[in-house]
């Protein structure tokens, strides 16, 4: 089998990362969560109080960006990759609703996208990668051998996010999450820089009524067709 690039794009909270991680594990590929990169930059801004009423202090961020280091390290115990910001494990903190509420503005900044895309494209060297995000099949790897565009209804996606956050002990309301999902959909689709759109050659999957096992089997089948 040849080593390929698998690009999984789609709306927020669709289960892209679950699907991408499962495939990477099954076929022994690297998994790269590009949303975690934008979330880490957002956390960095929030910690420095550079976001006021949804407006980012771009000048300060631009200056600091080259010194922001984002890495992924494998946690043997959890059997999962975790995100590190300048050497600190921020895996849980970047998933909070506070970060989710600000990540759209940070990820719409052109120079931030340019820097993150460059980091993502560096994985080309290690072919055999599953990457999930919003622009992987359109901007980062337009030549990816397998592109999937994942979608599900906003209510179902909000319920999944709600279950995930409450399981971690975060106190959140379903309505607040649904609002965040809808707002991020709008911002992801309408931003000037690399808006979320389906690549022409992407396979669309609506997983609203699929189990994780069904999705996994579906993706593995597509992968085997392309990597043959
Ligand atoms: O997949 P996620 O919810 O963790 O992504 C967080 C945010 O980052 C999301 O609101 C959109 C943005 N994002 C992006 O613009 N481009 C990517 N390739 C990945 C995420």
> Hey, whose CA ends up nearest to atom 2 of ligand 1?
35
Write the burial class of residue 225 (CB in 10 Å: 0-12 exposed, 13-18 middle, 19+ buried).
Answer: exposed
Residue spans of the domains in the chain: they are: 5-227
> Hey, whose CA ends up nearest to atom 3 of ligand 1?
12
Strand partners, 52: 55
Burial 5-29 (b: 16+ CB within 10 A, else e): bbbbbbbbbbbbbebbbbbbeebeb
Cβ–ligand 1 contact at 141 (below 6 Å): no
CATH level 3 topology of 5-227 = Rossmann fold (3.40.50)
Q: Which atom of ligand 1 is nearest to the CA of 188?
A: 11
Closest CA to 106 of 155, 153, 70, 156: 70
Q: Which of 38, 42, 115 to mutate to test the pocket of ligand 1 (most atoms within 8 A of CB)?
A: 38
90-93 contacts at long range (C-beta below 8 A, 24 or more positions apart): 90/40, 90/43, 91/36, 92/168, 93/43
Q: Which atom of ligand 1 is nearest to the CA of 107?
A: 15
Cβ–ligand 1 contact at 39 (below 6 Å): yes
Cβ–ligand 1 contact at 50 (below 6 Å): no
- Measured at the CA of 184, the angle between CA 196 and CA 90, to 5 degrees, comes to 100
Reduced to 3 states (helix: H, G, I; strand: E, B; else coil), residue 126 is helix
CA 210 / ligand 1 centre spacing (Å): 23
H/E stretch holding 214 reads helix 212-227
Closest CA to 108 of 136, 135, 148, 137: 135
Cβ–ligand 1 contact at 104 (below 6 Å): yes
Q: Cα(168)–Cα(96) distance, rounded to whole angstroms?
A: 10
CA 36 / ligand 1 centre spacing (Å): 7
Report which DSSP code applies to 135.
S
Per-residue tens of pLDDT for the chain, all 228 residues:
889 999 999 998 899 999 999 999 999 999 999 999 999 999 999 999 999 999 999 999 999 999 999 999 989 998 888 999 999 999 999 999 899 989 999 999 999 999 999 999 999 887 799 999 999 999 999 999 999 999 999 999 999 999 988 998 989 999 999 999 999 899 889 988 888 999 999 999 999 999 999 999 999 999 999 998
CA 134 / ligand 1 centre spacing (Å): 6
CA 191 / ligand 1 centre spacing (Å): 12
């Amino acid at each position: 089998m040849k080593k390929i690039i698998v690009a999984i794009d789609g709306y927020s909270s669709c289960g892209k990362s679950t699907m991408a991680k499962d495939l990477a594990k099954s076929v022994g590929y690297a998994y790269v969560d590009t949303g975690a990169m934008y979330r880490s930059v957002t956390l960095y801004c929030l910690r420095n109080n550079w976001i006021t009423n949804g407006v980012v202090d771009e000048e300060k961020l631009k200056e600091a960006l080259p010194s922001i280091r984002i890495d992924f390290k494998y946690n043997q115990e959890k059997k999962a990759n975790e995100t590190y910001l300048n050497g600190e494990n921020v895996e849980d903190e970047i998933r909070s609703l506070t970060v989710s509420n600000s990540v759209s503005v940070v990820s719409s900044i052109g120079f931030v996208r340019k820097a993150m895309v460059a980091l993502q494209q560096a994985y080309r060297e290690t072919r055999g990668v599953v990457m999930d995000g919003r622009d992987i099949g359109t901007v980062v790897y337009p030549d990816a051998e397998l592109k999937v565009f994942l979608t599900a209804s906003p209510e179902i996606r909000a319920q999944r996010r709600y279950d995930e956050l409450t399981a971690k002990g975060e106190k959140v309301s379903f309505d607040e999450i649904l609002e965040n999902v809808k707002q991020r959909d709008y911002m992801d689709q309408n931003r000037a820089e690399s808006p979320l759109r389906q690549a022409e050659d992407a396979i669309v999957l609506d997983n609203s009524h699929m189990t994780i096992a069904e999705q996994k089997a579906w993706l593995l089948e597509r992968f085997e067709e392309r990597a043959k």
